[in-house]
Amino acid sequence: MKGIRKKIYILDTSALLSYIEDEEGSDIVETLLIEAENKKIIIWVAFVSLTEVFYITLQEKGETEAKKRLELIQSLAINIEESNEDLNLRAARFKAKNRISLADAYIAALCEKYNGILVHKDPKFKSILPAIREYGLPYKK
């Protein structure tokens, strides 16, 4: 079994919120998290997704809930990629070539860096396919 590379998944903000809020598709994210806990796959999350979860929750539910959600995310079997020169330059290239938000550019850059599969429910990512691979969750109705 040595030499077999584990699949790598990147959870974007919408996937994290889907899981936390038990929206449609949360079961898929939960299954991936269990597989990561069992060391069958690797999951990465960009630092900017934690920022987005915090500010969205802060606006909708207040600071106490926002802090609880960050603690929950940090307790999961995931790796968090902080800002660094390589990621910044990759994100800048995605942002320069595509009409996407800076946060989405960082998430796409993380997918590119690790050759990961993006787990999301954000139709804006369609504009950068096939540069990244995806596992689309059901869009909100």
What CATH code is carried by the domain that includes residue 91?
3.40.50.1010
Give the span between the Cα atoms of 47 and 27, in whole angstroms.
23
- 2 lies in a domain? no
Q: What is the pTM of this model?
A: 0.91
pLDDT band at 140 (very low <50, low <70, confident <90, very high): low
Contact criterion met (CB below 8 Å) for 138 and 24: yes
- 1 lies in a domain? no
117-120 and 133-136 strand pairing: parallel
In what order do the strands lie in the sheet containing 79-81?
79-81, 42-46, 8-11, 117-120, 133-136
- 3 lies in a domain? no
- For residue 65, the SS3 value is helix
Give the span between the Cα atoms of 123 and 125, in whole angstroms.
5
- 66 lies in a domain? yes
Percent of the chain scoring above 70 in pLDDT: 92
- 84 lies in a domain? yes
Which pLDDT score is estimated for 134?
75
Mean pLDDT of the chain: 92
- 32 lies in a domain? yes
Domain total for the chain?
1
Which pLDDT score is estimated for 131?
65
Give the span between the Cα atoms of 30 and 113, in whole angstroms.
24
- 107 lies in a domain? yes
- Residue 64, domain extent: 8-136
